Amino acid sequence: MKCLLLIAVSVAVVAPSSAERPKKRRSPVAAIAKKIHPALVTVRFVPAESAKDGGKPVPGAGVIAKANGIVLVPAVEAADGSKLEVRRHDGSKLPAKVLATDRKLGVAILKIAAPKPLAEVEFGDSDQVKVGDDVIEIGGTFGYELSVATGVISAANRAGPNGIKVLQVDSSVSPGISPGPVFDMKGRLLGIVPKSGGIGLAVPSNRLKELMMKATKQQGK
């Protein structure tokens, strides 16, 4: 007589450790935004006499171009008796003065008194930009400061206003975004959009470097 032996085998199911669990996928835009954030600034007009409202904001955003306090922003014009104030990502405020303004390009160079070296942007080579390249644009969408938008280069070496060569940028919030910097997908500055409107035309980074070098040389900075 044959006997059947039934052997029960218990199987322990072990949950994967936290180190083994797949990490939540995050958009590369988030990492780039985090990288460039310390070098972003906004600008305000502050009346000569202290104002309770903290001053009038200037539309758009700028970048710290050099660690010693050189800042690139869309062109600004202070009202009579007003002073410029730069606000950094951490909320700190620093007085600023205008070193140079190129009205043709629509870009201004400011100098802030930096108590220590500041985080600065990395410049990309705007001559290497190709149509269709993904970009990140920083501005103030409908008044909200330092808003992030994604887009593409829709035209390179485009003839812009005043006959200057510009990069045409199409971003997801073009109708509402105010002037500001444009970055590639490695977080390198490709240009600055000096004016808001239905089309984003950015002054190329190589042209910005030329302007900055000329202005700082004249000022002996």
For the segment 96-128, what is each residue's pLDDT rounded down to a tens digit? 888 888 888 889 899 998 888 999 999 999 999
Kindly report, residue by residue over 36-68, the tens digit of the pLDDT.
999 999 888 766 554 455 555 666 789 999 999
Q: pTM for this structure?
A: 0.80
Final residue of a structural domain among 93, 112, 131: 112
- Confidence at residue 121, expressed as pLDDT on a 0 to 100 scale: 96
- Confidence at residue 83, expressed as pLDDT on a 0 to 100 scale: 78
- Confidence at residue 6, expressed as pLDDT on a 0 to 100 scale: 39
Q: Based on DSSP, count helices (H) and strands (E) in the chain, helices before strands.
A: 2, 13
Same structural domain, 140 and 172: yes
Using only C-alpha atoms, the chain has a radius of gyration, in whole angstroms, of: 24
Same structural domain, 82 and 133: no
Same structural domain, 108 and 168: no
What domain count does the chain have?
2
Same structural domain, 106 and 127: no
| Residue 48 located in a structural domain | yes
Same structural domain, 129 and 205: yes
Short-list 58, 63, 92, CA closest to 76? 58
Q: What is the CATH number of the domain that holds 147?
A: 2.40.10.10
Task: Locate 207 and state its tokens.
Answer: 């042209």
| Residue 22 located in a structural domain | no
- pLDDT at residue 156 tops 70: yes
Same structural domain, 199 and 127: yes
- Confidence at residue 9, expressed as pLDDT on a 0 to 100 scale: 41
Residues sharing a CB contact under 8 Å with residue 81, sequence separation 6 or more, in sequence order: 47, 48
Final residue of a structural domain among 69, 91, 112: 112
Same structural domain, 68 and 128: no
Q: What is the extent of the structural domain holding 87?
A: 35-112
- pLDDT at residue 215 tops 80: yes
| Residue 66 located in a structural domain | yes
More confident residue, 50 or 181: 181
CA 221 to each of CA 28, 77, 84, 194, 218: distance values in angstroms, whole numbers, following the listed order: 36, 22, 19, 24, 8
pLDDT band per the 50, 70, 90 thresholds, residue 171: confident
Same structural domain, 95 and 57: yes
| Residue 61 located in a structural domain | yes
Task: Return d(Cα 134, Cα 182) in angstroms, integer.
Answer: 10
Task: Return d(Cα 123, Cα 149) in angstroms, integer.
Answer: 19
Contact 166, 177 (CB under 8 A): no
Same structural domain, 107 and 126: no
**Highest mean pLDDT out of 14-18, 155-159, 189-193:** 189-193
Contact 105, 207 (CB under 8 A): yes
Mean per-residue pLDDT, 167-189: 80
